[in-house]
Amino acid sequence: AKVGQPQIQILPITSDNQLSAEELKQSVVVKGQVSGLNASQLSTDQPIVFKLDGKSFKAKLDSTGTFSGIIDQ
């Protein structure tokens, strides 16, 4: 991505990109990468929030632009 044009990439959640009935009973870790920003634009205090079925789930961003969060049942 070009600097100044932020993009968010969500990494695969499972090895087969599908959640089984058993996996759906557990918490799911969502990881990804923010790109297109320079180091001064990345802030570990910047909130990242996933919204799923009307519920919000927070993720943490590190200084490299990688984020992760947990979606609980």
**pTM to 2 decimals?**
0.77
- A 10 A CB-CB count for 32 gives 18
Q: Read out DSSP for 6-49?
A: -EEEEPPSSTTS---HHHHTS-EEEEEEEES--GGG--TTS-EE
Average pLDDT over residues 44-71: 90
| Confidence at residue 69, expressed as pLDDT on a 0 to 100 scale | 94
Across 6-20, average pLDDT = 89
- Strand (E) or helix (H) holding 50: strand 48-52
Tens of pLDDT along 19-45? 888 888 999 999 999 888 877 788 888
